[in-house]
A and B are shown apart, each in its own frame.
Chain A
Amino acid sequence: MLPYLKQTEEQITTYIAGVSTETVKSSLRKERRDFQDLLNLISPAAEQEIEQMRSIAVAYRKMHYGKAVRLYTPLYISNKCVNSCAYCDFSIKNKSPRKTLTLDEIIKEAKAIKALGMDSLLLVAGEDPKSMSIEFLEQVVKEMKKYFSYLSIEIFPLDTEGYKRLADAGVEGLTLYQETYNQELYLELHPAGPKRDYLSRVDAIAHGGKAGIRTLGVGFLLGLYDWRSESASLAAHAIWLRKHFWKSKIQFSFPRITPVGTGFQAPAPVSDEELEQMMLAFRIVFPEADMTISTRESGKFRDKTALSCAGLLSAESRVTPGGYADAEDKDVGQFMLNDTRSAEQIKDDLKKSGLEIVIKYWDKCI
């Protein structure tokens, strides 16, 4: 459980298990909701009210984002990593060959992504201080800003100064998943490497907030631990960030474990129904927050949740460094994808559901 909470995990999970349908209905009737309402909406009792939750979520999504859905593409600049996360193929224990792209190779990737008709980029890298210095990252960001309107990063934690340098270079968004908020499990899954420090990871996203990064992306890896307990921690974390960094927007992601080469089995798998309930609950309690749904999910599930929850979708993701310019690249990817549609196909499918595809949602000049 997220430290700093006034209630213990046992109190919270006992409360969630005992929520009545009436309490769920009362949360749904409110105009503005809080942490307690989130607990009510992720409860087993709320499963009965899923239709009502869907219609409220659709209304909020429409109010805040209209019919627009934004698309972005990840660019993996390195799969070298000194951590040993049990669920990730970039783990140092996985002996497959690794690479870090050079600036020229990154530009080649950027051009290939632009050719797909995309204008928002998520830079992803494993944690490898030797090949991934802050100076190099800064240089990459400045170069990418020449090609893309909107840049975000999903890399290892930095301090406030590091984030500030990247924000000044053009980074608008930061994503840093806690993986699991359960401390014992966290230690078990991260046996070595700098990532083993649970508290420094919890605090790192706040460094991004202090550095003035506009969008703070949070989430946990679905399938590691009880999703209800994790959701409570995630909501508390988000409320804390929102209060302290009032100029930053919170973005929720719901990465669900897909098969990886290491054969890691999710100890607490989350079903489609549960994932939808969780997303609806967060959409209703945090109507103004951004929400993404990645290509880890099937096209069908993504298109469905784009109507009620997610306003931000990745498209044509390739999770290996160099995967765009060299489509035949067989290097190690981070995880398995379930939505392998082309960007064009995704755009067509979303348009058919009545959504407007937004490619440009920021500007190079800001």
Chain B
Amino acid sequence: MKALKIADTEFKSRLFLGTGKFSSSEALKRAIAASKTELVTVSLTRVDFENNEDDILSAIDSSKVKIMLNTSGARDAEEAIRIAEFGRAAGNNWIKLEIHPDPTYLLPDPIETLKAAEILVNKGFIVLPYINADPVLAKRLEDVGVHTVMPLGAPIGSNQGLKTETMLRIIIEQSTIPVIIDAGIGLPSHAAAAIELGADAVLVNTAIASADNPENMAAAFAMAVRSAELGIDSGPASASLTASSTSPRNTFKDLF
């Protein structure tokens, strides 16, 4: 697969992690290590940049893992921009833009997201917007200069897998920037399927944080993503509707 590069940063791991819902900072720390991730997102509503002993921040070794602030909690562009500015003041220029005014399904607002994305890009942020699986919106965001698009597979935290597959295929086909499939990934097999579909990376949170053993689940996701990547790099044989024998008879035709 093509190396994953966002802005000027290259990532070896195609698994990104969200940091919510863990039972303790120790559990988060172990999950991060087991996932081998190089990028985690944190919510400003949960972390306290003024506190050196903040539970979440202290669980992340920022020399090994990049910390990206997300705008979770923002209901409109204005609030998202305020959060991003606050994050930048704390030394964080990457922003995962998520604006979900609907508290039931937490679906992203396309209009406010596009509006905020354009302003943030112009202000020099590295912008990674969370969006519904809408191919036209993905292109519109690309036009304003965002650095990836992050379409959902299913509503956040629902663990339903790639319910939006048809639209994801179109987004992946048309995109010239990395596509990271964000919400809805519930099992390692979903993550593998996302990579096989052509996504550049996946972002997982609930499926790992809410597992009985988050550390092992993080390792399982790392293996699934790596496995799909290796599969793609190995040049998969094409699929066909008819059977094809694994020991073709024509190899031996001279014997008969």
Question: Could you tell me the distance between the alpha carbons of A247 and B104 in the complex, rounded to whole angstroms?
Answer: 9
In chain A, positions 195-253 with a C-beta closer than 8 Å to chain B are 214, 242, 246-249
Q: Which of B22, B45, B101 contacts A361 (CB 8 A)?
A: B45
B171 to nearest A CB, angstroms?
26
**A347 CA / B47 CA spacing, docked (Å):** 18
Q: Are B210 and A67 in contact (CB under 8 A)?
A: yes
Q: Does any Cβ of A come within 8 Å of B137's Cβ?
A: no
Which A residues form the contact surface with B (CB < 8 A)?
62-68, 149, 214, 242, 246-249, 288, 351, 354-356, 358, 360-363, 365-366
* A366 engages B83 (CB within 8 Å): yes
Q: Which residues of B contact A246 (CB under 8 A)?
A: 101-102, 104
Tally of A-B Cβ pairs under 8 angstroms: 70
**CB-CB under 8 A for A249 and B23, given A63-B210, A361-B45, A363-B73:** no
Let me know if A362 and B45 touch, CB within 8 A: yes
Contact between B21 and A247 (Cβ–Cβ < 8 Å)? no
Pair B73/A68 contact, Cβ less than 8 Å:
no
Bound state CA distance, A312 and B102, in angstroms? 20
Give a binary string over B69-108; 1 marks a CB under 8 Å from any A CB, 0 the rest: 0000111000100110010000000000000011111000
C-alpha gap A365/B206 in the complex (Å):
26
Flag B4-23 by CB within 8 Å of A: 1 or 0 each. Answer: 00000000000000001111
Tell me what chain A mostly uses at the interface: helix, strand, loop, or mixed: loop
Smallest beta-carbon distance B229→chain A, Å = 28
For B104, the chain A residues whose CB sits under 8 A away are: 242, 246, 249, 288
With A247-B103, A361-B46, A362-B73 known to touch, is A66 a contact of B24 (CB < 8 Å)?
no
Q: Are A249 and B103 CB-contacts (below 8 A) given A365-B82, A366-B74?
A: yes
Give the dominant DSSP class at B's interface: loop
Establish whether residues A366 and B73, one from each chain, have CB atoms under 8 Å apart when the complex forms. Answer: yes
Which residue of B has the minimal Cβ distance to A290? B103
Complex CA–CA separation, A365 to B74 (angstroms): 11
Chain B residue with the shortest CB-CB distance to A212? B75
Docked complex Cα distance between A247 and B44 (Å) = 20
B48 at the interface (CB under 8 A from A): yes
Instruction: Using known A-B contacts A67-B21, A247-B75, A360-B48, determine if residue A366 contacts B82 with beta carbons closer than 8 Å.
Output: yes
Find the A residue at minimum CB distance from B212: A62
Contacts of A249 in B (CB 8 A): 103-104
Set A247, A248, A356, A360: member contacting B45, Cβ < 8 A: A360
Chain B residues positioned under 8 Å from A66 (CB to CB): 20-23, 206, 209-210
Which residues from chain B sit less than 8 Å from chain A, CB to CB? 20-24, 44-48, 73-75, 79, 82-83, 86, 101-105, 157-159, 206, 209-210
Query: CB < 8 Å: which of A63, A67, A214, A365 contacts B23?
Result: A67
Tell me the minimal C-beta distance from B65 to chain A in angstroms.
Answer: 20
Asked whether A63 lies within 8 Å of B22 as measured between CB atoms, the reply is: no
Report the nearest B residue to A59, measured CB to CB: B210
A-B contact pairs, 24 of them (CB 8 A): A63-B157, A63-B210, A64-B157, A65-B21, A66-B20, A66-B210, A67-B209, A149-B45, A246-B104, A247-B102, A247-B103, A249-B103, A288-B104, A288-B105, A356-B24, A360-B45, A362-B45, A363-B73, A363-B83, A363-B86, A365-B82, A365-B83, A366-B44, A366-B82
Closest beta carbon of chain A to B30's beta carbon, Å: 14
> What CA separation (Å) do A335 and B73 show in the bound complex?
34
Q: Knowing A242-B104, A356-B22, A365-B83 touch, does A62 contact B210 (C-beta < 8 A)?
A: yes
Q: Other CB < 8 Å A-B pairs besides A247-B101, A360-B48, 10 of them?
A: A62-B210, A65-B21, A66-B210, A67-B23, A214-B75, A249-B104, A356-B23, A360-B45, A365-B82, A366-B45
Q: How far is the CA of A50 from the CA of B103 in the complex (A)?
A: 28
A264 to B44, CA, bound (A): 45
Take A63-B157, A66-B23 as given contacts and tell me if A366 and B79 are in contact as well, using a CB distance cutoff of 8 Å.
yes
Task: Please indicate the chain B residues that have their CB under 8 angstroms from the CB of A214 in the complex.
Answer: 75, 103
Q: Is the CB of B46 within 8 A of A354?
A: no
Set of chain B residues within 8 Å of A356, measured between Cβ atoms:
22-24
B residues near A248, Cβ cutoff 8 Å: 103
Complex Cα distance, B74 from A338, in Å, reads: 36
Chain B neighbourhood of A365, CB < 8 A: 44, 82-83, 86
